Amino acid sequence: QVQLVESGGGLVQAGGSLRLSCAASGRTFSSYAMGWFRQAPGKEREFVAAISWSGGMLYYADSVKGRFTISRDNAKNTVYLQMNSLKPEESAVYYCAAARAGKYGSRRQDDFGSWGQGTQVTVSS
Q: Is 120 helix (H, G, I), strand (E, B) or coil?
A: strand
State what percent of residues in the chain have pLDDT above 90: 78
Residue 63 pLDDT level (bands cut at 50, 70, 90)? very high
Query: What mean pLDDT value characterizes the chain?
Result: 93
What is the reported pLDDT for 28? 67
What is the reported pLDDT for 56? 87
How many alpha carbons fall within 13 Å on the CB side of residue 62?
A: 0
**Cβ atoms within 10 Å, residue 49:** 25
Q: What is the mean pLDDT of residues 12-38?
A: 90
Answer with the residue of higher pLDDT: 39 or 102: 39
Whether residue 6 is predicted with pLDDT greater than 90 in this model: the reply is yes
Alpha-carbon span 125 to 66, nearest angstrom: 21
Query: How confident is the model over 68-125, as pLDDT tens digits?
Result: 999 999 889 899 999 999 999 999 999 999 998 888 788 999 999 999 999 999 999 9
By the 8 A CB rule, do 40 and 92 touch?
yes
